[in-house]
A and B are shown apart, each in its own frame.
Chain A
Amino acid sequence: MNKVKCECGHVNPEGTVLCEACGKPIEGNQHIDGNEGNKLLNMRYDGTARRSQTYNKSIIDKIWSFFSSVKVGVWLIVIALVASMVGTIFPQEIYIPADAVSRDPAIFYEDRYGILGLIYYQLGFHNLYSSWWYMVLIALIGISLVICSLDRFVPLYKALKRQKAKRHETFLNRQRLYSESEQVTPDDIETVKENLKKQRYKITDENGHILAEKGRFSRWGPYVNHIGLIIILIAAILRTTPLMHTEEYVWVREGQQIVLPGTNGEYYIENKEFIMEVHDENDERFAQAIQQEGVVPSNFQTDIVIYQETNASVPGAEPELEPILEESIQMNKPAKFDRYTLYQSGYQVNEFTNMTFKVHETDDPEESSLGSFTIDLTNPDSIYELDSGFRVQVDQYYPDYILDNGIPTSETNFPRNPAFVLSVYPPESDTPEISFIGIGKNIDATGENEYKVGIEDFELHDVSGLTLRVDFTLPFFILGAAIFMIGVIQGMYWQHRRIWIHPKENGILLAAHTNKNWFGIKKDIEKSIENTPITMARDQQELDE
């Protein structure tokens, strides 16, 4: 195809459907926008040449034209939509419930959902949203977005810039709003012009050919909107880098000092105290909730100290720590240091810190103490020597005692349900008596023990769940979303309206086009031709098509 010179003298790029200057339909190109045999012209992109539809030479051009197709874009979106739906049929791997028989995905899906679950797992749908192909799909949508926008914005911008007030008759009489008036005086035209100006139309007069235009700005809405989307996509890409975004969850026990995960061993945290406060039970504001729930918390708080490692030692070696921050973290009041933000996000109460036991004679109804000892559950000793001469050896310690097929074992690392096997050596004796003791359990292995160990006292502590977050991507998301919104508003609340007046003999041809809100533009025309002999433009939309 060659450049097309229109009879108005304007040279159009290849593939133009409607002359950029005068709008005359260009012969041989009408199939592109499906104008053949239609009364009305398709005004999409003002009939400009979308380059991609005309050139298909190098491989680059071919790739370009593939992505510039809206049809391709829509299909990509549909595929992504269907894929996203598939991902919700069964829970994703990270959401396998904690009470499942096995959290191993190879077992879980088949066990719970049968053959369908097995297929789901084998096709990799249990990790769908982070699979490479899902990401590629989203990326392709992004590419399509960029290329579609570029491929349409540039020609449209040029066409609207080059448009002439003088339009070809064919262009005018194939617009949706069109009328012919036989007798119109120049005064009448002046009146119309004035009226249009009053309605904030911009008037271009070219030898009596008039173009009145307003709201062209609205045509850029979709492109602004796409820029916003692209920024959001870029933010999403940045979010995958640890530098821009990290999130770690850490449980810290009261009194414990541990490394903060995700800080490369640079920062340590100490939990001084976890505080949970509740609303006064007589508080009327919460009366209903208190009735339902028993208590209503008013404050979750962790008092912490953050330490920085100063000697950059080998990981694991005793670090030299310097406190850099002491703070009370509350809900929505995170602690901030360096580039990290630390949020209060969870808690567990009533873990055992230490337990105090006493030894007494088995058949002493008074249970009077023959000596007592305290086991620090975070660091138990193996032997406790009592002042009275008793010696107690800790044979086994189960921090979180359960019976697993009859075998005593610990379910977790944490002293939630501590239990002990203790060997009690009476004074000057080498034969121990063995006792098993835990919360609500006190078992004498042989039934012949002379001495019994009983719990005298215990102390509890709480555990704080904290989220450590680095997020530099949020401003990008906000910027993207704001631009997206501006684009939507720009395209929604303004309309691009154009009215053409074309003098013909003693009368005029009147035509108008808008990209939306035809009712509005009709009102505009009615107002401006008031008290003139000009015929109101007729809506010639082919309704039953």
Chain B
Amino acid sequence: MSLDQMKSNKQKKKRNRFIFRTAILAVLVAAVVFALVSHLKEDNGGYKVGDKAPDFKLQQISQNHDAEAIQLSDLEGKGVMLNFWATWCKPCKEEMPYMQELYPEYKDKGIEIVAVSLDGTELVVDRFIDDYGLTFPILHDKTSEVRDLYKVVPLPSTFFINPDGEIQEVVNGALSLESLEGYLQEIQP
């Protein structure tokens, strides 16, 4: 074996080693990144800020509103505040008056408040609407299908959806009057 041959042999070996190591490291790093990304996604469960809000259609049960049913996609072009609540949830009761207070004003500005009740019976919702004098549409998610779709766990949970139908903001927990108004301004068309 000549010196030149040995040298070129060595070069080749080195290159092969480099390729081999790079490949192995790349595979490992890819696996780690995949694990982290899929893990973080699962952590948040449902939809995130920036995602298209998934469409649904539910019966409207409030006597104070004339729609029979509401489909989210029909509201495109308007800002939508999608609120998940229940009559037995205390913080929901606290934020409802704020929603009612701001509703007439922001309705004129092109925002719809859609409150999805997760209660078991319509009666309790009806009584609640009367007590609080709510005029925005109240939808009834009897089978929890929409709750499951949006992966709502804590109540209340609110999705602020911009006129393009994308989720602008997700709030878990009750809103104050100020924070509510701030979010509504964000999704105003």
Contacts and interface: CB of A to CB of B under 8 A. Distances in A.
Contacts of A132: 36, 39-40
Interface string A230-266: 0000101100111000000000000001110110010
A265 B58 CA distance: 14
B161 to A, nearest CB: 15
A42 B18 CA distance: 30
Contact of B119 (A61, A242, A413): A413
Given A136-B32, A381-B123, A60 B18 contact: yes
Interface in B18-50: 18, 21-22, 24-25, 28, 31-32, 34-36, 38-40, 42-43
B127 A413 contact: no
B146 A411 contact: no
A410 B88 contact: yes
Interface stretch (A15-23, A80-88, A389-397): A389-397
Nearest to A376: B121
Contacts of B73: 314
A314 B56 contact: yes
B122 A379 contact: yes
B46 to A, nearest CB: 11
A386 interface: no
Interface in A257-285: 257-259, 261-262, 265, 268
Contact of A315 (B24, B32, B56): B56
B119 A237 contact: no
A142 B39 contact: no
Interface string B143-156: 11110110000000
B120 A414 contact: yes
B56 A135 contact: no
B71 interface: yes
B148 A259 contact: yes
Chain B contact surface mostly: helix
Contacts of A395: 127
A219 B32 CA distance: 29
Q: How large is the interface on B (under 10, 10 to 19, 20 to 34, 35 or more residues)?
A: 35 or more
B31 A382 contact: no
Interface residues of A, number: 55
Nearest to B142: A258
B33 to A, nearest CB: 9
A97 interface: no
B42 A265 contact: no
Interface stretch (A143-151, A485-493, A532-540): A143-151
A259 B145 contact: yes
B31 A237 contact: yes
A332 interface: no
B80 interface: no
A315 B145 contact: yes
B162 to A, nearest CB: 20
A482 to B, nearest CB: 22
Nearest to B93: A409
Nearest to A263: B148
B126 interface: yes
Contacts of B144: 258-259, 261
A382 B56 contact: no
A499 to B, nearest CB: 35
B145 A265 contact: yes
Contact of A259 (B40, B121, B143): B143
B21 A314 contact: no
Given A130-B43, A258-B144, A411-B88, A64 B21 contact: yes
Contact of A136 (B36, B54, B139): B36
Contacts of A319: 145
A237 B34 contact: yes
Contact of A397 (B22, B58, B124, B149): B124
B87 interface: yes
Given A314-B57, A400-B88, A265 B123 contact: no
Interface in A41-96: 51, 58, 60-61, 63-64
A268 to B, nearest CB: 7
B22 to A, nearest CB: 5
B146 A60 contact: no
Contact of A409 (B18, B43, B88): B88
B141 interface: yes
B58 A146 contact: no
B86 interface: yes
B54 A237 contact: no
A414 B28 CA distance: 49
Given A139-B32, A261-B148, A58 B88 contact: no
A517 interface: no
Contacts of B127: 395-397
B59 to A, nearest CB: 8
A240 B39 contact: yes
A132 B38 CA distance: 11
Given A316-B141, A411-B88, A399 B32 contact: no
B55 interface: yes
A257 B143 CA distance: 7
A370 interface: no
Contacts of B32: 136, 139, 142-143
A18 B31 CA distance: 37
Interface in B69-90: 69, 71, 73, 86-88, 90
A413 B120 contact: yes
A311 interface: no
B138 interface: no
Nearest to A414: B120
10 contacts: A60-B21, A60-B22, A64-B21, A139-B32, A143-B25, A237-B38, A240-B35, A259-B143, A314-B56, A315-B145
Pairs of residues from A and B, 7 with the lowest C-beta to C-beta distance, nearest first: A316-B56, A139-B32, A316-B58, A317-B57, A315-B56, A259-B145, A237-B35
Given A136-B32, A143-B32, A410-B124, 7 more contacts: A130-B43, A143-B25, A240-B38, A257-B143, A316-B57, A413-B86, A413-B120
